[in-house]
Structure 1
Amino acid sequence: MAPASSPPRAFALSDKVKDEVHKQDVWTVFSPASGYVPEDSINLGQGFMNWAPPEYIQEAAKKSIEAIETNHYSIPKGRIRLRQAISKHYCEWISISFGLSSPSFKRTINPDTEIVVTSGANEGIYAFELAFLRDGDEVILFEPFFDQYICNTTFNGGVPVYVPLHPPAHSKHTSVKASEWKIDFDEVRAAITPKTKAIFVNTPHNPIGKVFDTEELLKIGKIAEEFNLIILADEVYDALVFNKEHIRIAALGNLWERTITIGSAGKSFSATGWRVGWAIGPQHLVQPTLAATTRIVFCTNSPLQEAVAVGLEKAPEHKFFEQQTAEYLERRKVFTAALDKVGLPYTMPDGSYFVLVDNSSIQIPDDFVIPDIVNQGRPRDWIVSWFIVQTAGVVCIPPSDFYSPKHIPIGEQFSRFAFCKDIDTIRAAGERLLALKPYIKK
């Protein structure tokens, strides 16, 4: 008989992940699947759609799965058909249809040396940081930030350095435009040290919905050139821009040479679970990113790469992006009209599918019960967002998780709602939010 084995000892965790293991973040708590939020809640929290990708892309996916060759490994840089489709899409659809005012960008993007397909945009960002960050290198992040930026940076030895976007002072009392949120460029310069390696620019911005204009991007680019910084342009919402011109920082002046641009099929085609993204840039930035992604995932989902290629190739004949933008404009209109009816001010987004709602006027009753999982020294927006879901049955996200501790006071006056749901769901959510009216004090 084999001797009884003793229970395994407690194994020490990596310093990079030990704080993440038991972390109760917004995604853990504010989800109908979490067990904390009522199951019948309308989920306007996490940014995923409640419809399938367009039918012509679904058909392409089915055909690809039925083939033999497309069910096996692809080369790490991505399937050639997709890389060619990305090159054509970026050079023609964006630059020409949206009228980039940058003659210097009338160039081709080499699908063999200037594009790498990644397992979602997030893996592309991680691979970029693995490729270029050395221990102690600093990365400038504008707040609020996509929360994955932090671990992507720290897991690769980097140090996040935060610069906030400032809302207009009157945002507590009236609705404002996303363009009114501003960067203080003196704060950007003050954040730079000899260890600064890169600066991240997210446009259209999650969660503000700000679409950076040419002047702002040129100022960021000038700083990057002065201090020899790499620019990571997170442009995953580039297909969701409303009555604005989406400007690519890589297309301005000589900034192509120091910029890597991240894109996402999931955001563009309502297929967030497909995990197909890409990184575009000059060879000296893309090839190290490819070397890193080869060791992280080796290659990205092969059959769905083919389907995304078809999605990009046939988008013009289906007028897909034009129709999608019109549909999102209608969703934005319906949701913001509901907020007006409730009496809550908000930031009107120019891009993406998020609305930041100012929660300052919501007064929570003294007898409202707040569970420990929420009331653990959390910022105010956690409490208010919990009150909203319990009172109105609509899930939203507290954006203080997208801020460094120093700048949480900016974020905690807001709650983030995602309007990437069908019109009927958005209307139903608007009706439910009327339950908040008795608790709004001007």
Structure 2
Amino acid sequence: MDEKFKPAKRVAGQKPDVWSIVNEAAAASPKQPIVNMGQGFFGYNPPRFILDAAKSALDRVECNQYSPTKGRPRLKKALADAYSPFFGRKLDPETEVTITTGANEGMLSAFMGFIEPGDEVIYLSNIEMPGGTIRYVPLQPPKNGATRTSSAANWTIDWDTLESTFNAKTKMIVINTPHNPIGKVFSKDELTRIGDLCLKHKVLILSDEVYDRLYYVPFTRIATLSPELAEITITVGSAGKNFYATGWRVGYLIGPPQLIKYVAAAHTRICYSSVSPLQEAAAIGFEEADKNGFWTPPSQRCKASIPEGGYFVLANLTKVKLPEGYDFPPQVKDRPRDFKMSWFLIVELGVAAIPPTEFYTDERAHLAEDWLRFAVCKNDDVLETAKDRLRGLKKWMV
């Protein structure tokens, strides 16, 4: 290939993505239809009041045209009203909220707004970014994860590693709570300790809280711990996750004006503005959710990590012995054990799950290669079918 046509390094060396591998396995499996517990999309529709809002928005001329780059005023106000009680003060919708095309684009906007070549970003999260240098600090699985079912709280931070990762080049830390894929909700003590490190080293915080309405234990927002932390924190949210509409790609960022104005500027350059009718529907969703009661909280051989939030469950499959000489395709045979296990479950049992080492660097993959991530935001009949099929693992268990 001519030098001028070579791709950027950030994409040139990428391995086949996990979704392509799972889809290929699904197509090859004799067990049809596949029970999809892999990708985290819901098996049911958003509530009727928000679907009706989306349909109504399509009939309005202004909802089919460009929205303001920072988002529709109605949605920003609805978000400010919805989140002000959590932040303990009245949020300004014009200066402290901006709308993005999904949470991922919101995070990209935050990176593009603040990260320069040479800056370092610490990750207690699971996403990629262009530019800058990434320093991953993975969560450590429970030592008895293969023998006991336990809470996701037992996935822990190696504090010595985290503290030693901060240095003069560190510009930002990315955290994710409730956590994907683990389902861990960081405790107030953990967040306070992280926040103290960020204040000490003058580091920005990007807090990915897209599952902030899906938690089953006390949930703390790091931006609410102190006025000092509020000044250095950008909170990431997702209307798609909140309203079971992940395909809508309506995200948002909340933070102090001196931070939000720069991520909003980057967002403008990335995609100018986000989908207008779905912003309008999301606004109505936040306005009507309380009235509709929408925010009301909702002994096996293979052991699991009981989630504290989100809609994923990690199952430990250490006791499953893959057959010797099993015919794995080239794109799987050299990947960690969980990739092989994912392929095996799809082909042999017709159940799709995601290998969590997809969220780890190669050198840290050993921490998670005995686990698989199952999305449980499905109808009961789907979950029952998955349960019945997974019983077929017994003949390969030791």
Provide TM-score, normalisation by structure 1: 0.87
Hey, what's the Cα distance between the residues in 2 that align with 1:134 and 1:358? Answer: 39
CA displacement, residues 398-437 of structure 1 (integer Å, 9 cap, x when unaligned): 1111111221110111111110111110111000100001
Hey, what's the Cα distance between the residues in 1 that align with 2:66 and 2:169? Answer: 39
Hey, what's the Cα distance between the residues in 2 that align with 1:231 and 1:292? Answer: 17
Hey, what's the Cα distance between the residues in 1 that align with 2:111 and 2:3? Answer: 34
1:265-414 pair list within 5 angstroms = 265-322=239-296, 325-326=297-298, 340-341=299-300, 343-375=301-333, 377-414=334-371
1:101 equivalent in structure 2: none
Q: Where does structure 1 differ by over 3 angstroms across 4 or more consecutive aligned residues?
A: 7-10, 32-39
1:245 equivalent in structure 2: 218
Hey, what's the Cα distance between the residues in 1 that align with 2:117 and 2:28? Answer: 38
Hey, what's the Cα distance between the residues in 2 that align with 1:397 and 1:436? Answer: 17
1:222 equivalent in structure 2: 196
1:31-430 pair list within 5 angstroms = 31=23, 35-36=27-28, 40-92=33-85, 95=86, 105-142=87-124, 145-146=125-126, 149-150=127-128, 152=129, 155=130, 157-242=131-216, 244-253=217-226, 254-322=228-296, 325-326=297-298, 340-341=299-300, 343-375=301-333, 377-430=334-387
Shift of 1:359: 1.2
- Identical amino acids, percent of aligned pairs: 41
Residue among 8, 11, 20 paired with 1:14: 8
Amino acid at match of 1:437: K
Q: Equivalent residue of 1:182, what SS?
A: coil
| Number of residue-to-residue matches in the alignment | 396
- Contact preservation (8 Å) 2:198, 2:204: yes
- Contact preservation (8 Å) 2:71, 2:99: yes
Distance 1:282-1:62 versus aligned 2 partners, 3 A rule: same
Shift of 1:10: 7.6
1:98 equivalent in structure 2: none
- Contact preservation (8 Å) 2:240, 2:247: yes
Amino acid at match of 2:22: F
Higher RCO (CA-CA < 8 Å; seq separation 6+) = 2
Amino acid at match of 2:221: R
CA displacement, residues 284-323 of structure 1 (integer Å, 9 cap, x when unaligned): 110000000001010000011000001000001110121x
Amino acid at match of 1:384: M
Shift of 1:35: 3.6
- Contact preservation (8 Å) 1:394, 1:432: yes
Amino acid at match of 2:146: K
Shift of 1:19: 2.4
Shift of 1:382: 0.9
Distance 1:33-1:371 versus aligned 2 partners, 3 A rule: closer
Q: Which segments of 5 or more consecutive residues in structure 2 lack a partner in the other structure?
A: none
Amino acid at match of 2:393: L
Hey, what's the Cα distance between the residues in 1 that align with 2:194 and 2:29? Answer: 41
Provide TM-score, normalisation by structure 2: 0.96
Distance 1:77-1:33 versus aligned 2 partners, 3 A rule: farther
Q: Which segments of 5 or more consecutive residues in structure 1 lack a partner in the other structure?
A: 1-6, 96-104, 327-339
Hey, what's the Cα distance between the residues in 2 that align with 1:32 and 1:89? Answer: 42
Hey, what's the Cα distance between the residues in 1 that align with 2:34 and 2:48? Answer: 28
